Amino acid sequence: MDSGKTEAPAPEIKAEEPAIKAEPKVEEPAPKAEPKAEEPKVEEAKVEAPKTEAPAPVVEEVEEVEEVFEEIEEIEELEEIELEEEEVVAEAPAAKDDLKKIEGIGPKIAELLNNAGIVTWAQLSTTAVDKIKGILTEAGNRYKMHDPTSWPRQSQLAADGEWDKLKEWQDALDGGKA
């Protein structure tokens, strides 16, 4: 087939010139973003206080001191209460005895003796006859005529609970007079 066209000769490759071979492309990895310089993480150090035995005794001593103060306060309160009780006892009048059980003492004379502070048989038994006469004299003519000579002795029997002896003696008396 001759088309009349001649083919152009292939270009000659000169042996002298080395052929440039394409080197295979080595892809370099994409540069990694450099991490930002981070501040070093500092963990909070847990600092534990050294365990010692010294604080325990100190705490115990403080507790003991507090207990002592509480006990002192309780004692002081009790002493105050005791003092108050003593004052009340000292101020409290003695239980009144019925002085009319004594031969010669009626309601009015019992009232005079009570007003003079003589409210029990024991008190009347230790009161001097002259003092009783003075109380009666101060009350007026109506009372000064009474004879209190036997009243202390009768009162002693009553205070001692010797009712039989008191009754026997009173039967022998006449209006408190022997």
Here the CATH number for the domain that contains residue 107 is 1.10.150
Q: Which two tokens stand for residue 71?
A: 């006990």
Domain total of the chain? 2
The answer to whether residue 150 sits within a structural domain is yes
Residue 118's closest CA among 132, 108, 104, 105?
132
Domain boundary among 46, 75, 92: 92
Tell me what pLDDT residue 78 has.
Answer: 72
Domain that holds residue 166: 99-172
- Residue 125 sits in the same domain as residue 157: yes
Domain boundary among 68, 92, 116: 92
pTM over cut 0.75: no
Q: Which two tokens stand for residue 147?
A: 């004879």
**Rounded distance between C-alpha atoms, residue 159 and residue 178, angstroms:** 20
The answer to whether residue 34 sits within a structural domain is no
Q: Which two tokens stand for residue 123?
A: 């008190």
- Residue 104 sits in the same domain as residue 133: yes
Domain boundary among 47, 69, 92: 92
- Residue 83 sits in the same domain as residue 118: no
**Rounded distance between C-alpha atoms, residue 125 and residue 158, angstroms:** 9
Residue 174's DSSP bridge partners are 177
The answer to whether residue 178 sits within a structural domain is no
Contact indicator for 106, 141 with CB cutoff of 8 Å: no
Tell me what pLDDT residue 37 has.
Answer: 56
Residue 114's closest CA among 90, 129, 130, 95?
95
Tell me what pLDDT residue 63 has.
Answer: 77
Give me the amino acid identity at 176: G
Q: Place 125 in a pLDDT band, splitting at 50, 70 and 90.
A: very high
Contact indicator for 81, 118 with CB cutoff of 8 Å: no
The answer to whether residue 22 sits within a structural domain is no
